[in-house]
Amino acid sequence: MPITWQDATRELHLHNGRLSLVLAVLENDWLGQLHVGAPLDPAASYRHLGPADFRGFSNRVDDPIGLAVPAPGSGDFRIPALVVEGPDGATVLDLVYEDHRIMAGKPALEGLPSTYVEAPSEATTVEIDLADRISGLRVTLSLTIFEDRPIITRSMRLTSTGDGRLVIRTAMSSSIDLPDGPWELLGFSGAWARERHPHRAPLQPGRRSLGSLRGATGHQQDPSLFLLRPGADEVHGEGFAFSLVYSGNFLAEAEVGPRGSTRARIGLHPDGFAWTLEPGATFTTPEAVIAWSDGGIGALSDALHGLYRERLARGTWRDRPRPVLLNSWEGVYFDFDHRRLLEMARATADLGIELFVLDDGWFGERDSDTSSLGDWVVDRRKLPDGLAPLAAEVEAMGMSFGLWIEPEMVSPRSRLFAEHPDWAIGVPGRPRTESRQQLVLDLSRPEVVDHLEAAVADVLGSASIRYVKWDMNRNITEPYGGSLSPERQGEFFHRHMLGAYELWRRLTTRFPEILFESCAGGGGRFDPGMLAYAPQAWTSDDTDAIERLTIQWGASHVYPLSSMGAHVSAVPNHQVGRVTPLGTRAAVAFFGVFGYELDPRTISDGERTEIRAQIAFYREHRDVFQRGRFLRLRSPLGRDDVAWMVVGPDRRTALVAHIRILARPVPPPDRLRLRGLDPDATYRVEPWPGLGGDAVRRGGDLLMAVGLGLEPEDPPTGAPRGDFSARIWVLTTD
């Protein structure tokens, strides 16, 4: 049993040989956390790692090994996991252990996305009840350990069991204490068009926070936090990854105490949050995922990739090969009609593309981003016969048809806004900020969710639509729930998010055959919460191959390639004006869910031939690209080149990419050491034909220990490879 309870010492040990979490009921009945991290022998006791009794602890040491749910009143002045105001206004809690239940499997979280199991044997869960008898608060801490993953998930359910009203001010999904520093924090931050750039720095005494107060996880910070030992790299060293299965306001924070211990917490952002629990009511936090490894950052990514691809993403499309698509956005933007789209579709089909996606502009009177969001009816000026004949004609060309939609928004210039101005989020009597000429609909109102379900379902049922790109292009600036009472406004952001999840749940359940891709102006809501509904996301609006290196590199720390939309676009690139070779653009986009974002009518015959070859190549290796093990080899940070690879499940096939950013004269000899191969196998190493060179045979051991030679010149011509050049090798065993 991967969760054991020792009666004599009152210890709970979650263990699977990959990691351990040891908790103990202390002498004063508080729940202490004795150890998290390296796997320990489940037969032994670890009671000596913690004190007997925590009460009055602050008088003795300032940063004791922690409690499982640190709260005010424990004498622990570090960042709390739980702050609840009782009927008397006090936030002091005395959370004593009452009971626990160990069960096979993993219960779902009500109304929230979460990881899951397909058979009870895949995971074991313990629910631990803690109670504060004075306020009537019951905390049920839920911990799941997966069978063969170095992963524990954690969430809390808070119940008001007394007669008085409780107000939750802080309810973090996870809080853990690491007794010995130092640690470095690795996070993923950015902005629109440059999401998820990695940044790493040593933790110092005090706090370091990442978070969002935008009503979405945002382009600015990913809802994850890695703690690494100094010197830990892709393959060596101890580290933790904390990741939150949530898409709204979040906080991921680490605090180093005066004696060097580190507390890491992740969950709903407490700023502006206040949730009232009437007697009998319950509140559930989102789920936190905790991964541990001493095999470096790559092992943490392996763990998250497997879990998120296999047991967070769900539905028909979870395991299906994702189609190569062409999206109309950068090709024609708003400027299209039925005839133009058919011409585009014909040119698209001719390339071997499998899915033709009509992006923004097909509804209301949407000729620009100034109007019509909310009016989900076909613009008959552009598409006089509607979507059905267009989809049918696209299908007759051998492709499926996909559509863009942005359900959560409304344009002030729309019929919906004229009819329901109160459905747009804003504080009555105060001006509303417009961003991209649009407002956010108040999804904390059930009638808005009902309306959107019906409106979107009408569209999706009106034609043969096989794919939906669900966009969300602005954040919430004046939070206010139109149907919430003044004292419940602190619930608004989370209630809005719950409404969004409900809408996603209903539509993905009603249309199980549709492949959903989430998008938020690119990667503004690319997070584990969304992955539970949409197995892929548009990684960034920046389609420049060189910019994408850092964006995809950063995103790959948490997210599997099967979730990362990556498209080849036209040059000069629309975001940065850079001109890169077509082969390089494809080489970068292959390492994701591959597609194109250009007008196929405008490309030359030579480009057409090259694109056909790219698509054939991707389709041939799609399974490895989308489901293989991704390994980061050379970081784009501070270097002139980048390398990464993906290895098929049986290690018989691998695909390696090396992208030169800037060429330098007289470069030193360079070898790229590969990883993840079978050391006993001999690989045929074949450069991808479009990018030059001859095939050779090399042992897996040699390729990993010595590496693959990176000649600075192009073998056939002897010319220097130049800026923005790329090479791909296909490795196959006999």
Binding residues vs ligand DGJ (CB under 6 A): 329, 359-360, 404, 471, 473, 519, 521-522, 538, 541
CB of 254 closer than 8 Å to CB of 183? yes
Interatomic CA distance for residues 481 and 498, integer angstroms? 13
Q: Which is nearer to ligand DGJ, 215 or 648 (CB)?
A: 215
H or E, element range at 2: none
Which residue in this structure is represented by tokens 């979490």? 21
Residue 364 C-beta: closest distance to ligand DGJ, Å? 13
Residue 627 C-beta: closest distance to ligand DGJ, Å? 25
Q: Which is nearer to ligand DGJ, 76 or 195 (CB)?
A: 195
| Cα–Cα separations (whole angstroms), residue 541 to 193, 517, 585 | 5, 14, 15
Q: Which is nearer to ligand DGJ, 379 or 471 (CB)?
A: 471
Residue 288 C-beta: closest distance to ligand DGJ, Å? 28
CB of 625 closer than 8 Å to CB of 591? yes
Which residues are 3's β-sheet partners?
14
C-alpha distance across the termini of the chain, in Å: 41
How are beta strands 671-672 and 708-709 bridged, if at all? antiparallel
How are beta strands 275-277 and 239-245 bridged, if at all? unpaired
Residue 543 C-beta: closest distance to ligand DGJ, Å? 9
Interatomic CA distance for residues 19 and 613, integer angstroms? 45
Which residue in this structure is represented by tokens 């022998």? 41
Residue 361 C-beta: closest distance to ligand DGJ, Å? 8
Which ranges in 163-254 belong to alpha helices (H)? none
From the list 587, 608, 542, the residue with the least C-alpha distance to 194 is: 542
Backbone angles phi, psi at 197, to 5 degrees: -75, 130
Q: Which is nearer to ligand DGJ, 360 or 442 (CB)?
A: 360
Q: Which is nearer to ligand DGJ, 354 or 541 (CB)?
A: 541
Q: Which is nearer to ligand DGJ, 228 or 468 (CB)?
A: 468
Task: Please say if 471 is a catalytic residue.
Answer: yes
Active-site entry in 132, 222, 360, 471 = 471
Residue 531 C-beta: closest distance to ligand DGJ, Å? 17
Interatomic CA distance for residues 490 and 85, integer angstroms? 14
Measured from each CB, the residue nearest to ligand DGJ is: 360
Residue 191 C-beta: closest distance to ligand DGJ, Å? 14
Active-site entry in 94, 541, 599, 641 = 541
Interatomic CA distance for residues 388 and 47, integer angstroms? 67
Q: Which is nearer to ligand DGJ, 376 or 492 (CB)?
A: 376
| Cα–Cα separations (whole angstroms), residue 280 to 94, 164, 165, 674 | 20, 10, 10, 57
Task: Please say if 541 is a catalytic residue.
Answer: yes
Residue 233 C-beta: closest distance to ligand DGJ, Å? 33
Which residues are 641's β-sheet partners?
660
Interatomic CA distance for residues 161 and 415, integer angstroms? 46
Q: Is 714 helix (H, G, I), strand (E, B) or coil?
A: coil
Q: Which is nearer to ligand DGJ, 84 or 409 (CB)?
A: 409
Decide: residue 395, CB within 10 A, 0-12 exposed, 13-18 middle, 19+ buried: middle
Q: Kindly report the CA angle at 99 between 97 and 105, in degrees rounded to 5?
A: 125
Which residues are 96's β-sheet partners?
131
Catalytic residues: 471, 541
